[in-house]
Structure 1
């Protein structure tokens, strides 16, 4: 059984690399591999290894979570890549359902829609927290500016204020937004949205680093340093 799971994981990683090879560096294979490693680490801290199926759910969901991301969709058929893969691999139905549930519900846009208040299962929490940890701290800052640059977004404009009380639709549109505003509209909110105790502990340091970075950014922007 363990050999079969290992083979499925390897094929999932291969699919992920192929599906994401055209993405910019903010959402590339390296991002996914970091999320996978973080998710497995959080899972161990949360006591999930007592269940082999749980660890398989975590690893596969982490590896497959960004395939078919709306921000990089090139073809509508990409929406079914993950489901088709799991069916082809004859993944157990209960495991498959958990993986798909994690992938479909873990995005920040879904939290805005109110799904974040729904009671979740442990595997969901560790994968979502891992993805969000990679969005904050030093790596998160680098990814934020990389994505903004890829979309030719303005770095900062003091006349454009961060949007408050965003709906899912407004968040997805990102009209007239600057890269720095993304910190206020999303990244600085992630610390308080962590689902696991392990995720909350790690988020504290990364959040603090972002706050210090933004303070220095604004000082330099205003010519104070």
Structure 2
């Protein structure tokens, strides 16, 4: 039953995310799923088949209905409808939806924290955030910025500080480079699991080194 449901979830991902740019495509989802399962095993959840199923389904379905890519309001209900059609028991369904609906950076800015009562939440969130940093994270950042016609860098536009949820999602003029300072460089400290923190160290350092080189080249000093 579980294997069949996972395959159907994969098919839903492929269909629902088909029109997205490469920063939030199905390859992103596969990476997050693999990272989440790996972290879950390191964090000792592999002894519970229910927990592993919650982690995998939440990881697979986490970007379906993402507000940044909504083409129709009905897409917001795709995940819940899928879980109902697959007969996922109510307790699991509630946990999966709780993870998906609360794991975004914008929700953390709003002061929402669910990890203590739901260990699967921290695992899936860490996996998603790990894919936002490091070499792949850099590539995704520029891909997304390009898809929205954002300015690459403008020294006159300073990164916003002390962001609120409303400011974060507001579509105001901003640069791709500033996104590193407003979000990506903050993610290492926001990891919820030990396994996530270990992985984040290397990826964070790579971003710092990249930005140092970027600014030097921008200024013509190298």
For structure 2, the residue ranges without an aligned partner over 5 or more in a row are none
Pick the aligned partner of 1:61 from 58, 64, 76: 58
Off by >2 Å, runs of 4+ in structure 1: 116-120
Structure 1 length-normalised TM: 0.97
1:174-185 matches, within 5 Å, as 174-185=171-182
Q: Distance in 1 between matches of 2:60 and 2:157?
A: 36
Q: Is 1:86 the counterpart of 2:83 in the alignment?
A: yes
Instruction: Give 3-state SS (helix, strand or coil) of 2:149's partner.
Output: coil
Question: Who is 2:149 aligned against?
Answer: 152
Q: Distance in 2 between matches of 1:47 and 1:93?
A: 24
Q: Is 1:70 the counterpart of 2:67 in the alignment?
A: yes
Tell me if structure 1 keeps the 8 A contact 2:126–2:193.
yes
Pick the aligned partner of 1:28 from 25, 28, 33: 25
Alpha-carbon displacement from aligned partner over 1:1-58 (angstroms, at most 9, x marks no partner): xxx0010010001001100000000000000000000000000000101100000000
Question: Who is 1:161 aligned against?
Answer: 158
What's the C-alpha RMSD, in Å, of the aligned pairs? 0.9
Q: Is 1:216 the counterpart of 2:208 in the alignment?
A: no
Q: What is the number of residues matched between the two proteins?
A: 222
**What is the Cα deviation at residue 116 of structure 1?**
3.0
**What is the Cα deviation at residue 120 of structure 1?**
3.9
For structure 1, the residue ranges without an aligned partner over 5 or more in a row are none
Alpha-carbon displacement from aligned partner over 1:78-132 (angstroms, at most 9, x marks no partner): 0000000000000011111110000000000000000037734111011000000
Alpha-carbon displacement from aligned partner over 1:130-188 (angstroms, at most 9, x marks no partner): 00000000000000000000000000000000000111111001411000000000000
Structure 2 length-normalised TM: 0.98
Tell me if structure 1 keeps the 8 A contact 2:115–2:122.
no
Q: Is 1:16 the counterpart of 2:13 in the alignment?
A: yes
C-alpha distance 57-118 of structure 1, shift in aligned 2 (>3 A): closer
Question: Who is 1:109 aligned against?
Answer: 106
